[in-house]
Structures are given as C-alpha cells and as structure tokens.
Amino acid sequence: MTSRSPLLARLDSPRVLGYLLITPAAIILLGLLAYPLLLGIWLSLTSATIGKPGEFVGLQNYATIFADPIFRGAALFSVFYTICAEVGKLILGLALALLLNQRFRGYRVSRALMLLPWVAPTVLSALAWLWLLDPQFSAVSWLLIRLHLINSNIDFLGSGWAARFSLIVVNIWRGLPYFAIGYLAGLQSISKDLYEAAAIDGANGWQAFCRITWPLLLPLTTILLAFSSIFTLTDFQLIWTITHGGPTDATQVFTTLAYQRAITGGQLGEGAAIAVSPIVFMVVLAVFVVRSVRDR
Amino acid sequence: MRHVILSLSKGLRIYVPLALFGVFLLLPFFWMLLTTFKSNQELLNTPNPFWIYHGTFAHVTDLLTQTAFLRWFANTLFVSVASTVLSVFVSYIAAYAIIRLRFPGSEVVSMVIFLAYIVPPAILFIPLATIIIQLHWFDKLWALVPVYATFLVPFCTWLLIGFLKNIPRELEEAARIDGASNLAILWRIIFPIAVPGLISAAIFSFTLSWNEYLYALVFMSSSGNKTVSVGMTSELIRGDVFQWGQLMAGALIGVLPAVLVYFFFVEYYVAGMSGSVKE
C-alpha cells in the first residue's frame, strides 16, 4: 500500500474521489431529471406539438388552460382527491398502527399482509378494483346486498360523484399501509416510561393518546402527509386504469389531463403547462418536508 | 374463567378490527385469485361470487399461450433487475462520498438529492418524452433503465446516507492507519457492513420499478417492448370487452414477483420504509 503512485494518491484524496463517486449519480440526475424539469417549464411557454418545436408564446398556454372548465375541474378534483384521501389514510393508517403496536399472536404475519396493497403494482390491483366495482357483476354490491345495506347494485363508476368517491377509497386502500408502517415505527420509538408515568397519574387510554402519543407523532405526521400528498396530487396510475378521467371528465386530475392533451392529443406546450401547474402546491409541501426533515 | 373472558376481550379488541382491515386490504388479491380460476360462465352468473364452483386453468393457459404476456413479464423483469443494479451501485458510491468523504459541497449535494426524490414523474414525462425521441431511445426497452434510475437513485441514496451515518467511524480509521486507501475502505470495509442497507435499497428499487407505469406507457409503443402493466391495460382491454379471467390471471402473476421479493425480505422492507421517513 505504501508504494502507491502519486497519481493514485491524488485520486484517492477525499475531494477528488468524492467528486468522482458522485459523478454517475450527477449525470443521471442532471440529464434526465434537472434538465427535463427545466425543459418542461420551457415547453409550457411554447406552442410545441409532437414533431414541431413550436415557438415562444409567453403565458398563452396558462391563459388557455385557466379559461378551460375541464382544467379547472381537474385542478379542483386533484385537490379534493388529495385532501379526502390523505385524511382517510392518516386516520385509518394510525388506527392500524395502534392495532399492530399491541402484542398479539400473528403480529408478523398480519404486518406483512397489511402492507400488500403498497407493494403490489398499482395498475394490476387497480384492475382488480375495476372488476370489483363492475356495474353489473360487482362483488362489493353483492356483499352489501347480502348484508341488507343496499337493495340493488351500485353503479360505482357510472356517475361523477360515485366515481370520485370510489377512486378516493381505492387510493386510501393503496396508501394506508404506508402511513401504518410509518406510524408503527414512530409508536415503537416512544418510551414506555411515559405511559407508565401517565397511568400512575391516573390518565386513561384516550388521555394518554391525546397528551403523549399524538404530540410525539406530530413531526412524523407532517413528513408522512407531505410525502404522500405530493404523490397523490400527481396520481396517474389508479385514475387512468379505473376511469380514464371519466365519466365525462368528472375524475380528471392534473396528470391524466396532461397525458391526454400532450401524448394523445399531441399538444406538448399545453400539456406541459397542465403538468407544471401542481408545482405551486408542491413547493409548499416540499418546504414542509425539508423543514421537518431538518428539525429532526 | 377469568382468563377466558380476558382473552375474549383481547380478541374483540384486536382480532375483530384486524379482520376488518384484512378484508378491506386483501379483498382485491382474493378477487384476482378467485377470478383467475373461474370459468367464463361462472364469472357472469353465480349464486356466490366468493366461491369457485367449476375451477379451470383455461384463463392462465390462454394468457400464456395466446397473448404476449410472457414477453411483457420478461421485459419487466429485465428492466427492474437492470435498473435496480444500476441504481443501487450508483447510489452506494454517491452516499459513501456524501457521508464519509465530506468533500466541499457535500451538504448541498445531499439536499439536492433529497429534493430530487420529491419530484414526481408526473411533471417530467412530457419533456422526457421529447428528450427520449431526440436521443432515438423511443420504443427501446433498455431506455427505461436510466429513466427509472431518475427516481430510484435519489431514493436509494437518501436511504443509504441514513444507513451509512450509523456505521461507526472507528473501523475505517483503523484501516486508514494501516494505509488503506479510501477506495479500499469503500469496498472492503464499508461494503460488507452496508449489505443490509443495500438489500433494503435493492428491494425498494425492484418493487418500485415493477410498479412503474407512466414512463413505460409513454416511451414504449410496440407490443414486444411493453411491460406487464402497460401490455395488460393496452392490449388485453380492447374497447369495452373485458376478458376478466385473463386480466385477473395476468394481474395475479404480475403481482407475484414484487410480492415474493417483499415476503422474503419483509424485515428489510419495513426497516427501509421506516428509515426513509425517520432520517
């Protein structure tokens, strides 16, 4: 080792080697992430179509989409979808985590099984949901009729609001395990001493939850919510597989509409403007994430 | 008697809500399984949809012999394995450089990588499509490998930074006194200790790649280059005719690799998942 050449020694200095080792990651991220991000913003300011570079048109595309009721509906539903699904995932995810945090037989198997919706490819499980929610042969309707909760089949995807809520339920189904595992890790890091002290002071379970568990989980909640919201707001797979944005654009979101306008319709500039517009929300969410990650 | 009542109340408190969660969370998978082995007639007319009266393998054999499913499966496997190997390697050396070599600007680099992690593909697919076409990468299966690395590398690097942080420095300092180079430390000292972290990163990368849809949908066009998710939604669904038996057989087989990998390494998966929100 002592016979190293000066060149190798130089190469091994933290500075040189450091830059060398991050080069592959830098090439991938600069070329296929940072550059496309900027190109996307540029495209949204041009009249580009597939095959034609187009020319700079300023904010024309944004003016067009903001005047378009379909875009306004998509923006509104994206936000509504995100808020409803996040609230559902948070509450059910926390409930599942509290449940799994207790000692019982079959804990490991339960935890492994409960994570399946998160692990399985979304499009494939969305296909199973599409079939489960079939207007004529829905197994969910069959079950609800048997339980005497409804009288006839529900057309889960046939009308605007039914389809919207069906998609929200499926999104909750898919994202709930993420919250559950995140919260489970959080719960396991809370010291048992705190609960013992609270019990000595005569606090009941609910009081202990409100005064100890929830406040200690709050920073984690911010991170989970912000991460999950970013990806729910720009969801594509679930909605595209189940409704394609329909019926009559009722479940259109930013990404499905951007896909339709840019890829199916060839209007790259307009599509890029639609795809770029959720960035406003995402910057706010990113600030939350970065701040809470730094605080920890 | 008291013992029985106690365990009964525990049963009600834990197993009843657990069963309800189980029904909700596992229903689609159960449904895939049932549909796969039901005859077409039984799919449309049955006294109880949650039971198989006349089992059949016809959907599975049709899927494997009459559609390009096996090709899509092989494609997905290739892309997932290749992008996982590439991303874990690239991320490991980057994470090591950021956390251990502390070169000037490493703090900034780590923050930028974190930000890259939260840029969703939904914002990138349109400009990426124009880049892919310009590079003549359109409809080339391997093009998905570097493209998937764009979301895998930030995630893995972030995960591995958190992992490497917790490896004590004494080990490498001892090696350094013995005259080991930084590169030797990276491979011979840190690598073996980092294996659990690398496994976590690899499982995540594999399941994330297996799950990817939007890029494969936009960048691949011929049937021979499609992945499972894209092939099934674009070629097994024609108009309003749904071959549910075949579709669910495909979904079931398509879910298996991700689920098997996950079941084998479930502890690593959970550790990675909790680690990624904690660090």
Distance separating alpha carbons of residues A95 and A75, to the nearest angstrom: 30
B14 alpha carbon, distance to own chain's centre:
30
Does any CB of chain B come closer than 8 Å to the CB of residue A284?
Answer: no
Q: Do B205 and B76 lie in a common domain?
A: yes
Interface contact A181-B122, CB threshold 8 A: no
For the stretch B12-28, pLDDT in tens is 888 888 999 999 999 99
Main-chain phi, psi angles of B237, to 5 degrees: -105, 110
- At residue A159, the pLDDT reads 87
Q: pLDDT (tens digit, 9 = 90+) per residue, A258-273?
A: 999 999 998 999 999 9
Do B117 and B144 have their domain in common? yes
Q: Do B111 and B21 share a structural domain?
A: no
Tell me the chain B residues in contact with residue A177 when contact means C-beta distances shorter than 8 Å: 25
DSSP per residue, B7-57: HHHHIIIIIHHHHHHHHHHHHHHHHHHHHHTB-HHHHHS-S-TTS-SSB-S
Average pLDDT value for residue range B215-240? 89
pLDDT at A90: 96
Q: Do A176 and B214 touch (CB under 8 A)?
A: no
| pLDDT value at A208 more than 90 | no
User: Most confidently modeled of A10-14, A27-31, A146-150, A203-207?
Assistant: A27-31
CB contacts of A286 in chain B (<8 Å) are 115, 118
Omega before A247 cis (within 30°)? yes
Residues B98 and B146 placed together within one structural domain of the fold: yes
| Residue finishing a domain among B10, B34, B56 | B56
Count of C-beta atoms within a 10 Å radius of residue A193: 8
Read off the pLDDT of each residue in A56-82 and give the average, rounded to a whole number: 93
A287 contact B CB<8A: no
Q: How many residues in total does chain B contain?
A: 279
Checking if the pLDDT of B73 tops 60, the result is yes
> Structurally, how many domains does chain B consist of?
2
Q: In angstroms, what CA-CA distances link A245 with A33, A163, A229, B65, B205?
A: 27, 10, 19, 33, 29
Asked if A245 and A256 touch (Cβ cutoff 8 Å), the reply is yes
Interface of A with B in 127-156 (CB under 8 A): 127-129, 131-132, 137, 139, 142-143
pLDDT at residue B275 in the model:
66
Spell out which residues of chain A touch residue B121, defining contact as CB-CB under 8 Å.
Answer: 234
| CA gap B97, A19 in Å, rounded | 8
Query: Where residue B126 falls among pLDDT bands split at 50, 70, 90?
Result: very high
Q: What is the pLDDT of residue A227?
A: 86
- B141 and B109 in one domain? yes
- CATH code at position B169: 1.10.3720.10
Asked if residue A1 has pLDDT above 50, the reply is no
* Final residue of a structural domain among B56, B76, B96: B56
Range of the domain at B44: 2-56
Residues B151, B232 within the same domain: yes
In the predicted model, what is the mean pLDDT of residues B120-130? 92
Beta bridge partners of A52: A49
Q: Which residues of A touch B242 (CB under 8 A)?
A: 131
Nearest residue on chain A to B110, alpha-carbon basis: A22
Most confident of the ranges A104-108, A154-158, B81-85, B274-278: B81-85
Judged against a pLDDT cut of 60, whether residue A160 lies above it is answered with yes
Angle at B228 between CA B137 and CA A114, to 5 degrees: 125
Is the same domain home to B136 and B248?
yes
Contact between chains at B113 and A29 (C-beta distance less than 8 A):
yes
- The C-alpha of B13 sits at a distance from chain A's nearest C-alpha, in angstroms, of 9
Most trustworthy range by pLDDT among A5-14, A94-103, A278-287: A94-103
Q: Which residues pair with B241 in a beta bridge?
A: B238
Q: Assess contact for B264 and B203: CB atoms under 8 A.
A: no
Number of Cβ pairs < 8 A linking chain A and chain B: 277
Cα separation, B95 vs B186, whole angstroms: 11
The number of CA neighbours under 13 Å toward the Cβ of B32 is 22
Q: Are A70 and A271 in contact (CB under 8 A)?
A: no
Is the pLDDT score of A3 beyond 60? no
Distance from CA of B74 to the nearest CA of A (A): 16
Taking CB atoms and an 8 Å limit, are A25 and B279 in contact across chains? no
> A52 — phi, psi (to 5°)?
-125, 130
pLDDT tens digits, one per residue of B146-191: 999 999 999 999 999 988 888 888 888 888 888 888 888 888 888 8
Over residues A147-169, the mean pLDDT reads 88
Q: Which residues of A touch B228 (CB under 8 A)?
A: 121, 124
Task: Tell me which of B56, B76, B95 is where a domain ends.
Answer: B56
Segment B211-232 mean pLDDT: 94
Q: How far apart are CA A272 and CA A279, in angstroms?
A: 12
Looking at the fold, whether B68 and B52 belong to one and the same domain comes out as no
Of B43, B182, B242, the CB nearest to A14: B182
- Same domain membership, residue B68 and residue B31: no
Say yes or no: B259 and B151 in one domain.
yes
Distance CA B223, CA B212 (A): 17
Nearest to B161 by CA among B258, B96, B81, B77: B96
Tell me the pLDDT band of A6, cut-offs 50, 70 and 90. Answer: confident
B120 secondary structure, DSSP code: -
Q: Do B116 and B240 reside in the same domain of the chain?
A: yes
Q: What is the mean pLDDT of residues B27-47?
A: 86
pLDDT for A296 equals: 58
Compare B5 and A87 and report the one with higher pLDDT. A87
CB–CB of B251 and A37 under 8 A?
no
Q: Of B29, B104, B123, which is closest to A279 when you measure between CB atoms?
A: B123
| pLDDT for residue B5 | 64
DSSP letters for A225-260:
HHHHHHHHHT--HHHHHHTTT-STTTT--HHHHHHI
Q: Are residues B34 and B74 in the same domain?
A: no
Distance in Å, alpha carbon of A234 to nearest chain B alpha carbon: 6
User: CA-to-CA distance for B172 and B192, rounded, in angstroms?
Assistant: 12
Is A184 part of the contact surface with chain B (CB cutoff 8 Å)?
yes
pTM as predicted = 0.90
Q: Are A154 and A162 in contact (CB under 8 A)?
A: yes
CB within 8 Å: A121 and B248: no
Of the pLDDT bands very low, low, confident and very high (cuts 50, 70, 90), residue A52 is confident
Residues whose CB falls within 8 Å of the CB of residue B155, separated by 6 or more in sequence, listed in order: B117, B201, B204, B205, B208, B276
Q: Per the CB < 8 Å rule, is A255 touching B214?
A: yes
Please name each of the domains of chain A with its CATH number. Answer: 38-295 (1.10.3720.10)
Cross-chain Cβ contact B90/A263 below 8 Å:
no
Higher pLDDT residue, A295 or A10?
Answer: A10
**pLDDT above 60 for A2:** no
**What is the per-residue pLDDT for B279?**
43
Alpha-carbon distance A67 to A60, whole Å?
11
Q: Comparing C-alpha atoms, which of A218, A197, A224 is closest to residue A208?
A: A197
- CB-based contact A28:B149 (threshold 8 Å): yes
Length of chain A measured in residues: 296
Judge whether residue A106 has pLDDT over 70.
yes
* Confidence band for B111, pLDDT divided at 50, 70 and 90: confident
Query: How far is A152 from chain B, CA to nearest CA, in Å?
Result: 16
Percent of chain B surpassing pLDDT 70: 94
Q: For position B276, what pLDDT does the model report?
A: 63
**In a mutagenesis test of the A interface, which of B123, B151, B203 is the best target, namely the one with the most A β-carbons within 10 Å?**
B123
Could you tell me which of A102, A107, A115, A117 has the C-alpha nearest to residue B265? A115
- In this structure, are residues A126 and A241 in contact, taking their beta carbons and an 8 Å threshold? yes
* Alpha carbon B70 to its chain's center: 19
